[in-house]
């Protein structure tokens, strides 16, 4: 069980060390955003091949989330985070020295693998070292650290690439990241001092599939998956790949202004994250209403963005992007659900399951937009309807599993069990539940 009292200074130090690893991972993940032109020249590729770097990295990240959760539950977050630093460092060193496109792709794949090991591991540490009422707040602080890494991969990295250049910049970044593995091994502890580790933490290999299946069958985990799927993908799709092309080629915004507009997502998430974490920590029953409110507002935003007559003015784009930036913090609610509805011995696996959602949706949306751009001759507004389709799918599935999770809570309450949130029966709770899928 996670601690029920107040977190100690040691717990905060452990979190800071782990959150710094996440900051480094996000830095490496987003560094290609400003290095794209240099990469095109270095590897001699065009825009389509350049986009493969992003799709590959996101795909590796998504594919590794459930295995990462299983590894964290089996070997503990300290070992997994140490391995993550080594993979991140090796990937960035390989990218610094790569001269060919295939080797560059391999480097980004290695980086994606290391990146995939970080976030679930950090959240597993948070679940072990902090009481439940602080989980959402500390998670929001963790994501804020990630946004610091995102910012470091914009203007500062641009100046480094223009000054020392590609090889020294990425070589030093990779070596420094790998060296931090020593700090991780010394500072991180899997459990609070004196606490008993969960009895079922080391799952036999034959039972790993059963553990994943059990986490997936838990309605709260499935609800968290669809929350993450629906809230996170749109900001990701814009900031990782299609935001600048949409603004420059579709809306005829200058490249400099387009890059500045994307920082609205970063600053918006940094502001909204801690605020949302504090609200849901004090009022956990507001988690799903907040998600529902965001999704309704996002639907209105996309209707405005895609239906606006003529070129979109900055007075529309800035508040629209600011509202969409709330999706990143809102996706953290999915992890709080995984934590609440699974025992600590399975939290890593359940968190990995949830974390798959947003990145699968990002990959589907990003690829669909690219295909539609080819079919429509570069019509961005028509192509971005793919975002609306993914949003609609995720919302419907989320509502299905919200009702099923509520049904589980009512049943647990009737048995006299303690439940994580207070709920009131509504009219829709009396309707027959849809078939599970």
The residue ranking higher by pLDDT, 52 or 86, is 86
248 pLDDT band (50/70/90 cuts)? Answer: confident
81-106 per-position pLDDT tens digit: 999 999 999 999 999 999 999 999 99
Residues 108 and 162 grouped into a single domain:
yes
302 and 172 both lie in a single domain: no
Structure confidence at residue 202 (pLDDT): 54
Choose one of 122, 155, 189: the last residue of a domain.
Answer: 189
> What does the pLDDT read at residue 138?
86
The domain of 184 spans 8-189
Considering the domain architecture, whether residues 155 and 260 belong to the same structural domain is answered as: no
* Same-domain check for residues 166 and 253: no
Cα–Cα dist 326/349, whole Å: 26
- Is there a single domain that holds both residue 183 and residue 232? no
The reply to whether 181 and 217 lie within a common domain is no
Q: Quick one: 259 and 166 in the same domain?
A: no
User: How confident is the model at residue 1, as a pLDDT?
Assistant: 39
Q: Is 145 inside any structural domain?
A: yes
Asked whether the predicted pLDDT for residue 37 surpasses 90, the reply is no
Residue 322 pLDDT grade (very low, low, confident, very high; cuts 50, 70, 90):
very high
User: Higher confidence at residue 345 or residue 47?
Assistant: 345
Q: What is the rounded distance in angstroms from the CA atom of residue 374 to the CA atom of residue 379?
A: 9
Instruction: For residue 418, give the 3-state DSSP assignment.
Output: coil
For 354-394, what is each residue's pLDDT tens digit?
988 998 898 888 888 888 888 888 899 999 999 999 999 99
Structure tokens at 19: 């959150």
Residue 334 lies in a domain: yes
174 and 232 both lie in a single domain: no
Mean pLDDT taken over the chain: 85
Asked whether residue 312 is domain-assigned, the answer is yes
**pTM greater than the 0.85 cutoff:** no
Is 282 exposed, middle or buried, given 0-12, 13-18 or 19+ CB atoms closer than 10 A? exposed
Among 369, 151, 389, 390, residue whose Cα is nearest residue 249 = 369
Q: Is residue 227 part of a domain?
A: yes
Do 95 and 147 belong to one domain? yes
> By percentage, how much of the chain surpasses pLDDT 90?
37
Between the alpha carbon of residue 326 and those of residues 191, 266, 271, 281, the distances in Å are: 32, 10, 9, 17
Residue 101 covered by a domain: yes
Please provide the DSSP assignment of 152-189 as one string.
HTTHHHHHHHHTT-HHHHHHHHHHHHHHHHHHHHHH--
Q: Are 149 and 74 contained in the same domain? A: yes
Domain-terminating residue out of 189, 220, 238 = 189
* 149 lies in the same domain as 286: no
Structural domain contains residue 288: yes
Torsions phi, psi for 3 (to 5 deg): -60, 145
**Domain presence at residue 433:** no
Per-residue model confidence (pLDDT) at position 429: 66
* pLDDT of residue 229 exceeding 80: yes
Last residue of a domain, one of 160, 189, 218: 189
Helices (H) and strands (E) in the chain, counts: 20, 0
Task: Domain count for the chain, please give it.
Answer: 2
On whether residue 282 sits in a domain, the answer given is yes
CATH number at residue 371: 1.20.1250.20
- 196 burial type by CB count under 10 A (0-12 exposed, 13-18 middle, 19+ buried): exposed
Whether residues 226 and 172 fall in one domain: no
Q: How far is CA 127 from CA 72, 120, 336, 381, in A?
A: 12, 11, 9, 42
pLDDT in tens, 287-315: 999 999 999 999 999 999 999 999 999 99
Structure confidence by residue, pLDDT tens digits, 161-214: 888 889 999 999 999 999 999 999 999 988 887 665 555 445 566 666 777 888
Please provide the DSSP assignment of 31-93 as one string.
THHHHHHHHHHHHT--HHHHHHHHHHHHHHHHHTHHHHHHHHHHH-HHHHHHHHHHHHHHHHH
């Amino acid at each position: 069980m996670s601690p029920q009292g107040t977190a100690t200074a040691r717990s905060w130090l452990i979190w800071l060390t782990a959150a710094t690893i996440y900051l480094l991972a996000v830095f490496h993940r987003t560094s290609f955003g400003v290095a794209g032109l240099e990469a095109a020249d270095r590897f001699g590729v065009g825009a389509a091949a350049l986009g493969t770097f992003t799709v590959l990295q996101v795909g590796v990240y998504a594919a590794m989330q459930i295995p990462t959760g299983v590894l964290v539950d089996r070997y503990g977050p300290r070992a997994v985070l140490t391995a993550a630093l080594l993979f991140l460092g090796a990937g960035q060193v390989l990218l610094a020295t790569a001269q060919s496109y295939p080797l560059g792709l391999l480097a980004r794949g290695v980086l994606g693998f290391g990146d995939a090991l970080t976030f679930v591991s950090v959240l597993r540490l948070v679940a072990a070292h902090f009481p439940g009422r602080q989980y959402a707040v500390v998670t929001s602080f963790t994501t804020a650290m990630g946004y610091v890494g995102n910012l470091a991969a914009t203007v500062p990295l641009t100046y480094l690439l223009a000054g020392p250049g590609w090889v020294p910049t990425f070589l030093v970044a990779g070596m420094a990241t790998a060296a931090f593995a020593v700090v991780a091994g010394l500072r991180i502890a899997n459990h609070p001092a004196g606490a008993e580790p969960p009895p079922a933490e080391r799952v036999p290999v034959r039972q790993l599939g059963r553990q994943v299946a059990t986490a997936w069958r838990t309605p709260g985990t499935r609800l968290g998956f669809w929350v993450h799927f629906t809230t996170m993908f749109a900001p990701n799709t814009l900031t990782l790949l299609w935001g600048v092309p949409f603004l420059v080629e579709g809306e005829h915004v200058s490249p400099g202004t387009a890059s500045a507009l994307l920082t609205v997502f970063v600053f918006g998430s940094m502001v909204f994250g801690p605020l949302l974490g504090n609200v849901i920590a004090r009022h956990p029953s507001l988690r799903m209403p907040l998600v529902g409110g965001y999704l309704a507002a996002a639907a209105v935003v996309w209707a405005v963005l895609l239906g606006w007559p003529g070129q979109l003015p900055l007075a529309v784009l800035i508040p629209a992007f600011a509202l969409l930036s709330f999706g990143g913090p809102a996706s953290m609610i999915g992890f709080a659900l995984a934590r609440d509805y699974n025992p600590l011995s399975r939290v890593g696996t359940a968190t990995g399951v949830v974390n798959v959602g947003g990145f699968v949706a990002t990959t589907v949306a990003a690829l669909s937009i690219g295909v539609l751009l080819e079919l429509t001759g570069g019509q961005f507004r028509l192509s971005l309807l793919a975002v609306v389709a993914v949003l609609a799918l995720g919302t419907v599935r989320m509502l299905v599993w919200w009702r099923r999770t509520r049904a589980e809570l009512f049943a647990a309450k009737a048995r006299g069990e303690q439940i994580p949130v207070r709920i009131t029966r509504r009219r829709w709770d009396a309707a027959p539940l849809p078939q599970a899928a």
